[in-house]
Amino acid sequence: MNFAQNTFLIALLLFPAGAITSIAFNKNERLANFTGSLFAVLGSISGIVSAISILFYQGTFSVNMPSTFPILSFALKMDSLSAFFVLVISTIALLASTYGYGYAKHYFGKYNLGNLGFFYNLFIAGMILVVTANNALLFLIVWEIMSLASYFLVIFEKNEKKNIKAGSLYFYMTHAGTAFIILAFLLLYRSTGSLDFEVIRNSINLISPITRDAVFILALIGFGTKAGIIPFHIWLPSAHPAAPSHVSALMSGVMIKTGIFMMIRIFLDIFPGGPIWWGITILIIGAISSILGVLYALAEHDIKKLLAYHSIENIGIILLGLGSALTFNSLGLHSFAILSIVAALFHTLNHAVFKALLFMGAGSVISKTHTKNIEEYGGIIKYMPYTALFFLIGSLAISAIPPFNGFASEWITFQSLFAGIRSVGSVAEWAFMIAAGSLALTGGLACACFVKVFGITFLARPRRENIKQITESSFSLVFSMAILALLTLILGVFSGSVSATLSRIANSVMAFRGEVVISNVHTSAIRTGDGFASVSLPSIFLIFGILLALTFIIFKFIPKKQRERKVITWDCGTNLGPRMEITATGFSRSIITIFADILKPSKEVKTTFHEENSNYFPKANTVNLGTAEIYRSYIYEPLHKLMTKISSYAGIWQNGNVNAYILYIFIILIILLIVGAVK
Amino acid sequence: MQNRQGASIFQPYSDLKKLFRKDELISHDASWIFKFMPYILFSTTLLIGFALPLITTGIRNGFFGDFLVIIYLIALGTFFLALAGIDAGSAFGGFGSSREMTLSALAEAGLIFSMLTLSILAHSTNLADIVHSVVSLPLTSLLPVLLAFIGFFVILLFETGRFPFDNPATHLELTMIHEAMILEYSGKRLALIEWAAANKLLIFMAIGANLFFPWGIASNLSLNAILIALGAFLVKVLILSAGIAILESSIAKYRFFRLPDLLLTSFILSMIAIGLIF
Amino acid sequence: MLKLFSKILKTPKTVIEPENLKLDIEAIKVGKKIEKKIRKLFSGSLAIREVDAGSTNACEHELTALSNCFYDVERFGIHFVASPRHADMLMVTGPVSQNMQEALVKTYEATPDPKIVVAVGDDAIDGGIFKGSYAVLDGVDKVIPVDYYIQGDPPTPMTILVSLLEILEKLDAPKLKPKD
């Protein structure tokens, strides 16, 4: 207990140390980069150590320093759930820091690396404090620190106008979300009289059902904005690409998970269960987010924006697990509820790992080619073989291909949805069926999208001449990616043990104290509680490996007389050029056409002519293909206009005329005196 | 049915034998994915074969006999097949991959739901257990099983590249789906891919025959039971093949953008089947 | 669909029965011999890629007729393929126009060994009726090495079949082995 507490507090000291030394050395770029990364690495390691000691050596720790001023009371608590999230955050932060050390070298001479180190360390510190805060006010303070630090990281490359705009959008949206969160906490304070989570948990009976539902909706919107559920996601696709790649990995991999963490904390830990419509709402939101996320990803050609949309999709999948957990909980089917929570937590971990891997691969490619547009890539596998290999592993993981980790968590999510279809009554059953259908569709579309991304980026011939000059990235980048790729394989193969640990964590959550553990660690297989399904990933990995080796040996060496010659690609007798390959636009056009009603694609053709007045001799045609921004036009623009209109009416009163203000004060004073006299 | 005799039924074996003896030509632009894909594709079909109850359920595979695993192993093969189509950078491989991945995404939902119908009826997702249970189902479950089978049959036609999704004998590259991705292959790699495609057809027919109509399957490993089961399996596969052949001779290949409607229909049929169970 | 099948059964037999036609007895006989040779030399499967190097399409019609219900070469193990990479034999038609020269060379190089090149039709042999024109190169052997020629303008399917048998017999003869 003490050990975990001490290491955690050490971590909390190391990050600010990194921040301060980084900004102190900001004149010397190399030193600033080095100290920033070093302290981040050390802090992450101590975070991992403390989380592991809590998870595997039991127990929780609390640090409580109450005082009469609520703003100064400091309450931290790390139980199994927080420890799990601290583990996820620290692991990804560790690898992102090692990656960032090499990656930041591209910023030498252009931007101030002291700032990068400062905000980066603060960002990570903010995140680990967010998942361990036990007091609503402390929570809000560190939440704000996390958001502000990430805002400054998003606008780090400030010479590009797009980044500034992305940052501003992120700033507004995250504060709008925070406003909802503040409202939720205020409602809780009003009912229970305290801001401390422990006290709230113990006095849950004081909260009326209406307040409880209101808190649910406010928390869903507030934390959903951070997590990126549709329709509150509009900041995600512009903010994540704008940040430097290791920061994008952190933001996409772990920051949005803090929203999920608080949802689990509030809906299942503080409130030990709500009505069934909570679960069904989250199921529907998860289904919509996952499908729309992957459809928008298919329409994108900016590699980082595409990965950001995939984060939205995976958050949708996590929400499917969470929604089923809530539904099962309100129906009393606790073993299935634990199964669903295990699915959600496992997918959180897996997504963090493979999304970070993918962002690192993308960053590696972008730093060498200086463009984010995948239409300008091609054939990179020959010049950056390691990046290609690790990106391939990341693509396989995110497409839920066995034996990698994405498959394990999607399998468990499927099982929990199937359990829902089998066991619950009429209305909920249809929600589960829609959810299962959307998960199946999402899995297939994600597969299609990553075939496109990997194929167009790394395979075939280069589409631009400058590709032929690029080389593999430096060691720190390749090393981080290698570790993450290895982690995806390990998490997949040993998914049985991982799910056993996760079900223990799920047990610790208030709603499920004392329930059944679902998995069998013995054969390293994942098994559902009632024997409906079981899968053993290690055996798949092993047997597939053996079969592959056998096939390769038999067929490579037995027919011996044949030669292999290298020739040019069969081009049907015409000239082979880079325009002959499939383009990303062409690849996804079929799907966009099929889903045209949802995506609303637009096509704009502009023709310039040789002669000004005569339309007979076209010189050039420009075709602009796009998808409509329906959220902006249908939700946010009208809201914006409404706000502006209301503000303009308020402007009648707030007209800047000091005499008018004095008049208002005078009138109110008279009214108050009258009211006081009447009383 | 096409009013001619046609090739012998052992022709594919002759094709494979000949292809193993030919030289190979590999493009400069191809990477290791192009070279390895046939081995990976073939190994996945072998692995799935280990999990399927072809003749007997006496060997119950509890490790990966789960239907989701089968579906995602097929997706593994398709993933690499599509990548190999893009790899050589030819004009047709890329859009073959595009069409394959588009339809594959939509087909997965139908496939999962048709097999889910059976699992719900059988209270297990293990294929051997499903076979066991479907034999002894009451008559009221006949309608869901039939509906799910129709849904499954549509997906079978797609995954194995038959009418109305794909014409396996076409020369028009613009209409190809599966063939377009393998236009660049030659020699023994092509043989492996063709063999894997034939395996896939057998796998799907075995699933269709054994899971939806499992009468005749041996439940133990005694010699009598196995011989009977072998005979029953051959009869069922023959009937299915005849069905596919009749379909191929009577309808034309659909226009590409009509195919998603077909796949969606399969999905909805399976959903209705599940709804009917309760 | 039922209508289709009932029509097949009800239509009066206007197709001349194969047994009565002397020509057709020869097609089956030739076909059987071809099948034996193909089984020996090509393991039972001969894949042909047909290349049109500027022809009048008359030869193509005849080649296409080989796959119809009457001649039906598929039963002998011959089939036409979509890509030269899959092919054993290239059947080239047309006098090789200037525009198709490079394409023909590339097709030849895209076919894996062992391969056989057959020039089908008088145009492909030496230019035929287009000989001497400025737009053609007067025959396939001016562009790629040709192994065998089939004469005719265009050769009938029967001629093509019989010529194919002679080619296969020549291939089988101990002196001449397929080009490596």
A97 contacts: CB under 8 Å, gap ≥ 6:
A37, A40, A41, A44, A120, A246
Amino acid A560: pLDDT: 65
Residue A606 is predicted with a pLDDT of 86
- Interface check for C69 against chain B (CB to CB < 8 A): the answer is yes
Residue A61 and residue A227 in contact, taking contact as beta carbons nearer than 8 Å: no
Q: Which of C100, C106, C112 sits opposite A571 (nearest CB)?
A: C106
Phi first, then psi: give them for residue B54, nearest 5 degrees.
-80, -50
A670 token code pair: 């008279």
Q: Is the dihedral of CA A47, A53, A59, A61 positive or negative?
A: negative
Q: C161 to chain B nearest CA, in Å?
A: 16
Angle at A181 between CA A177 and CA A185, to 5 degrees: 170
Q: Which of B65, B42, B68, B64 is nearest to B53 (CA)?
A: B65
pLDDT (0 to 100) of residue A517: 53
The predicted pLDDT at position A514 comes to: 54
pLDDT of residue A67 exceeding 80: no
Neighbours of chain A (3+ CB pairs under 8 A): B, C
Report the distance separating Cα A567 and Cα C108, nearest Å.
12
A593 to chain C, minimum CA–CA distance in Å? Answer: 28
- Most confident stretch, A207-211, A242-246, A391-395, A634-638: A391-395
Residues of chain C contacting B186 with CB distance shorter than 8 Å: 85-86, 112
How far apart, in whole angstroms, are the C-alpha atoms of residue A253 and residue A394?
Answer: 13
Q: Which residues of A are less than 8 Å from B113 in CB distance? A: 436-437, 440
CATH 3.40.50.12280 fits domain C45-171 = yes
Contact call for A460 and B22, based on CB within 8 A: no
- Mutation pick from C50, C96, C106 vs chain A, by most beta carbons of A within 10 Å, is C106
Contact B6 C72 (CB under 8 A): yes
For residue range B249-262, list pLDDT tens digits in order: 888 888 888 999 99
**B222: pLDDT confidence band, cut at 50, 70 and 90?**
confident
Burial code of B215-235, b = ≥16 C-beta within 10 A, e = fewer?
A: ebbbbeeeeebbeebeebbee
Q: Kindly report the average pLDDT of chain B as a whole number.
A: 86
Residue A174 pLDDT: 93
Chains with 3+ CB–CB pairs under 8 A to C are A, B
Percent of chain A residues topping a pLDDT of 70: 94
Pairwise CB contact (< 8 Å): C104 & A571 = no
Q: How far apart are CA B170 and CA A126, in angstroms?
A: 61
Has residue A527 got a pLDDT over 80? Answer: no
Parallel, antiparallel or unpaired: strands C46-52 and C89-93 = parallel
Write the residue in A563, A567, A572 that is nearest to C109 by C-beta: A567
Inter-chain residue contact B184 with C83, CB threshold 8 Å = yes
Looking at beta carbons, which residues of chain C come within 8 Å of B18?
A: 42-45, 47, 88
Taking the CB of residue B190, how many other CB atoms lie within 10 A of it?
24
- For chain B, how many helices (H) and strands (E)? 10, 1
Contact C82 B4 (CB under 8 A): no
Q: Which of A351-355, A463-467, A577-581 is the least confident region?
A: A577-581
The pLDDT confidence band at residue C19, using thresholds 50, 70 and 90, is very low
Q: What is the predicted pLDDT for the residue at A207? A: 79
Set of chain B residues whose Cβ sits within 8 Å of the Cβ of C44: 10-11, 13-15, 17-18
Residues of chain B with Cβ-Cβ distance to C113 below 8 Å are 22-23
Any A CB within 8 A of C135 CB: no
The answer on pLDDT for A508 being more than 80 is no
Residues in C touching A573 (Cβ below 8 Å): 100, 102-104, 106-107
Look at residue C84 and tell me whether its pLDDT is greater than 70.
yes
Q: Specify the pTM.
A: 0.90
Mean pLDDT, range A354-364, rounded to an integer: 94
Contact between chains at B5 and C4 (C-beta distance less than 8 A) = no
Across the interface, which of B29, B106, B275 has its CB nearest the CB of A379?
A: B29
pLDDT at A384 over 70: yes
The yes-or-no verdict on residue A261 having pLDDT over 60 is: yes
User: Which of A451, A562, A564 is nearest residue B79 as measured by Cβ atoms?
Assistant: A451
Enter the ipTM: 0.93
Contact C85 B14 (CB under 8 A): no
Chain A residue numbers touching C84 (CB-CB < 8 A): 570
The whole-number pLDDT of residue B5 equals 67
Judging by beta carbons within 10 Å of its beta carbon (0-12, 13-18, 19+), is residue A224 exposed, middle or buried? buried
Q: In 10 A of CB A140, how many CB atoms?
A: 17
Do B113 and A437 make contact, defined as CB atoms within 8 angstroms? yes
The chains found to touch B (3+ Cβ pairs under 8 angstroms) are A, C
Q: Which of A341-345, A473-477, A612-616, B115-119 has the lowest mean pLDDT?
A: A612-616
- Report chain B residues whose CB lies below 8 A from the CB of C68: 4
Q: Nearest C-alpha of chain B: how many angstroms from A584?
A: 10
B181 in contact with C at a CB cutoff of 8 Å?
no
Compute the nearest-CA separation of B271 from chain C (Å). Answer: 28
Average pLDDT of the residues of chain A: 86
For the cut 50, the answer to whether the pLDDT of residue C21 exceeds it is no
Structural contact between residues A398 and A293, judged by C-beta atoms closer than 8 angstroms: no
Structure tokens at C4: 């289709």
Percent of chain C past pLDDT 70, that is, above it, reads 87
Calpha distance A589→A603 (Å, rounded): 12
Q: Do B24 and A414 touch (CB under 8 A)?
A: no
Instruction: Report whether pLDDT(B145) > 60.
Output: yes
A402 in Cβ contact with A418 (< 8 Å): no
What DSSP state is assigned to residue A286?
Answer: H
Residue-wise pLDDT for C111-134, tens only, equals: 888 888 999 988 888 888 888 889
Task: Indicate yes or no: CB of A561 within 8 angstroms of CB of B21.
Answer: yes
Max mean pLDDT among A135-144, A312-321, A560-569, C52-61 falls in: A312-321
**Per-residue pLDDT averaged across A211-224, rounded?**
92
- Using the predicted structure, report yes or no on whether residue B6 has a pLDDT greater than 60: yes
